[in-house]
Structure 1
Amino acid sequence: MFGLRVLRAAVFTAGAIGGLSGAAYGLLTEQSKRARKIIGPPAAALRADGVYLPEGVGPLDPADPRITGDPLVFAVLGDSSAAGVGCDTDEELPGVLLARGLAEESERPVRLLTHAISGATSRELAGQTDAALLTPPDVALVIIGGNDVTARLSPGACALLLGAAVRRLTETGTAVVVGTCPDLGAIRPIAQPLRSLVRSWSLTLARAQRKAVLLAGGQPVALADLLSPEFLTRPAELFSKDMFHPSAAGYAAATQVLLPELCAAAGVWDGGPLPTQPTRSAAAEARRPTAKLVAKLNWRLKQVPPATSHSAAVTGQ
């Protein structure tokens, strides 16, 4: 997801931009220290690149004689969420799960090439794209955004960098799917009010990313909207031991929403209509008044007696 420096960056930026009082600044700083202590240092990402066969065999060396036909090349770019930090075995990696799913759905071999690096920001996407284009992929997945706040890049700047990478890939014929910035407010070790600040940043970035990806010819997938409700209600199951990166179950949940889009982008989806992607953030939807609240407000309005001529004169109406 995003580097631990985000906690320090959040406090710094909130103090510089938001005009926090000394007490509020001290509170956020203390929350940042506690969260870093709970989360601990990040673990190294596993890697299981190679060719995966439709029957579930893999990873194989590209020269393995069991591979028949040209494999569909699948590239994974981005940060630790794309690399699979938090998984305990190769089989749990999101790239592996998606490569197996693509192979089964397309009924052809799929070659997985992982260029994602833990801790990467949108600034590193250009280098990852260079590496990916050395073996031009048929389909690519990009998950990026969380670490951008550590460099205090603006959402607009991040979106431009992402859009440029997506455009370079699509111009070479690569179908690109982008998992937009997850809802970082779902990370429990980050206490309130720091958690609300981080959530606001991540959702703002996700909206900017969505626009940039569409303009560049890619397909965005709103991870915050589609996954945060589950992560908020099942944190012990869907987060790894550090309570920061997803667990194997968390990555499996993410692949369930990403695989249909990847298959559709590759032209091999045969699972029926794809779900409509949300255009409004989950957090914004959560702030909308419920039908029950609207009914209560209407009831209260009906209880207010009509204004008398005296009251109308007092109020100037």
Structure 2
Amino acid sequence: MFLPLARLYARLVFCRPPADWSVPAPDGRYEPTGSTEPAAPGDDRPLTLLVLGDSLAQSVGARRPGQTLGARLAQGLAEGTGRPVLLRVHARAGATTAAVGRQVLRAARLRPGIAVLIVGGNDVLLPAPLGRAARRFAHLAQALREAGWELVVVPCPDPGYAPGFRRPARWIGHVRSGRLARRHTRTAVRTGAHLAPTSGPEFRDRADTLLSPDGVHPSPAGYAAHATRMLPTLLEAAAQIRLPVPAAG
């Protein structure tokens, strides 16, 4: 459903729409193979990492599973905590905030762990009220928190830093994304979520290495840069998750 929408919208706002929207699926179990930290008693069960949102969260532009944002975060989380991580990526290209509601429903059977939410880039480029997107975002954040997830919010990225967007889209996206990002930040603070850094001007200044050929989505190096910036926040979130109490011997 979302891929046709993404293609249609890309023809209107991209200078060079992506030739390939497919993303290699990184879902699975990630082991702390390089970790030097001993596993604490009772933490041998996998820690669930759920990635929700749009094409940035799904990692359009990555060519192999290990290059995706989800895989890099899952492996970094496994190494940093000494625990195995079970990754599930429900994000889809073209998703708006409203569409993420269906992604959350799909996660209902997962044991709560850390949920990463990256959305808003499509909302700010569509002719729709931002207030409605912000209210839906707040509802999603509250629902995830009430379901027991440690939520990591990446405030709405700024399309103005992506040279692959047409100039009007960059200007409109810059203005509207700032407004939506501020509302995302307020929601995160109000719900007790963790705030991770969003993309910045380095993606414009180093577009040749950090962006894929479409000039909008990150390249594998760009996703690596995103993961490096986000990982400390995920480790803070992991520290808030209570470990199961070991059975008495």
Q: Please give the TM-score of this superposition, normalised by the length of structure 1.
A: 0.67
**CA shift in 2, pair 1:107/1:98, >3 Å:** same
- The 5 Å alignment of 1:139-288 reads 139-223=114-198, 227-267=199-239
The structure with the largest alpha-carbon Rg is: 1
Q: Is residue 2:64 matched to residue 1:92?
A: no
**Residue identity in the other structure for 1:257:** R
Distance 1:142 1:215 in 2: 16
**CA shift in 2, pair 1:80/1:229, >3 Å:** same
Q: Deviations over 1:252-302 (max 9, x none)?
A: 111111111011011079xxxxxxxxxxxxxxxxxxxxxxxxxxxxxxxxx
**Residue identity in the other structure for 2:115:** A
Distance 1:4 1:228 in 2: 25
Aligned to 2:117, what secondary structure does the other structure show?
Answer: strand
**Residue identity in the other structure for 1:242:** D
Q: Please give the TM-score of this superposition, normalised by the length of structure 2.
A: 0.84
Aligned to 1:190, what secondary structure does the other structure show?
Answer: coil
- The 5 Å alignment of 1:60-139 reads 69-139=44-114
Distance 1:261 1:229 in 2: 20
Distance 2:25 2:55 in 1: 12
Q: Give the RMSD, CA atoms, in angstroms.
A: 2.4
**Residue identity in the other structure for 2:176:** W
Q: Shift in Å at residue 158 of structure 1?
A: 1.2
Question: Does the CA contact (< 8 Å) of 1:164 and 1:216 recur in 2?
Answer: no
Higher helix fraction (1 or 2): 1
Show the counterpart of 1:50.
28
Which shifted more, 184-193 or 171-180? Answer: 184-193
Aligned pair count?
230
**Residue identity in the other structure for 2:131:** G
Show the counterpart of 1:314.
none
Distance 1:214 1:156 in 2: 18
Which 4+ residue blocks in structure 1 deviate beyond 6 angstroms? none
Q: Shift in Å at residue 123 of structure 1?
A: 0.3
Aligned to 2:192, what secondary structure does the other structure show?
Answer: coil
Which shifted more, 127-136 or 106-115? Answer: 127-136
Greater RCO between the two (CA within 8 Å, min separation 6)?
Answer: 2
